[in-house]
Amino acid sequence: MSCVRDGWMPQTKPRAGLRRIIPLAAAALALGVVSLPYAAAAAPAAETLSNVRDATAGYTDPAAALAGGYELFTDAADLACIEQPGMGGMGVHYRSPARMQSGTLDPARPQALVYQRTSDGRLQLGAVEYVVFQAEWDATHSTPPSLFGQDFMLMPADNRFGLPQFYQLHAWIWRANPSGVFNMWNPDVACTSDSEQ
């Protein structure tokens, strides 16, 4: 594992005692023999998927997202429904500009809510998405972000959204994803028309 990159070390030096412990802990982690129980204990209470469901239960309808400060987000080609042939789809994103700008991660307040079109034409909440811009995150953190024990994926600058490089993590907490709860693409999701929005 490569948690620490060159030049990413924290500015403050660990205390002498810690300095002895860290290499041992890192070696143990590499072998997969410890699970860092103290890290789990220190995690905020909201950092479980069921708590995220509770926190986003009011947003199952996109009208509530709009009322809550989220807005429809399209890609650089002005497409609202996002899919990747051969991989699956995400659906339609509503993002919170304020939370996108915050540079912070709060499990209960995802940067985006992701909806899919139902057979009767409604949009229904399926996933949440956490987003932080890499430049902001790396300015104050020595390792990339993670939530729920999942490392975020870095999206390069030439992404379809025209955004600067960003870290993202999807969590399919409102709809099953056969590819995994944290996979950005859901093979059961397709964008059925070009006018999808």
* Residues at the site binding Cu ion, with contacts judged by CB under 5 A: 90, 129
Q: How far is the CB of 95 from Cu ion (least distance, A)?
A: 9
CB of 193 to Cu ion, least distance (A): 19
Are 114 and 90 in contact, with CB atoms under 8 Å apart?
A: yes
Nearest CB to Cu ion, comparing residues 81 and 90: 90
User: Which residue number places its CB atom closest to Cu ion?
Assistant: 90
Looking at the Cβ atoms of 137 and 185, the one nearer to Cu ion is: 185
Q: How far is the CB of 34 from Cu ion (least distance, A)?
A: 33
CA distances from 125 to 6, 11, 145, 160 (A): 40, 41, 24, 22
Residue 120 CB contacts under 8 Å (≥ 6 apart), including other chains: none
**Which amino acid, residue 179?**
S
CA dist., res. 95 & res. 124, Å (int):
15
Rounded to the nearest whole angstrom, what is the least distance from the CB of residue 90 to Cu ion in the complex?
Answer: 4
Of 83 and 129, the one with the shorter C-beta distance to Cu ion is: 129
Shortest reach from residue 112's CB to Cu ion, in Å: 6
Identify which of residues 137 and 172 has a Cβ nearer to Cu ion in the complex: 172
3-class SS letters over 14-48: CCHHHHHHHHHHHHHHHHCCCCCHHHHHHCCCCCC
Contact assessment for residue 165 and residue 133, using Cβ atoms and an 8 Å cutoff: yes
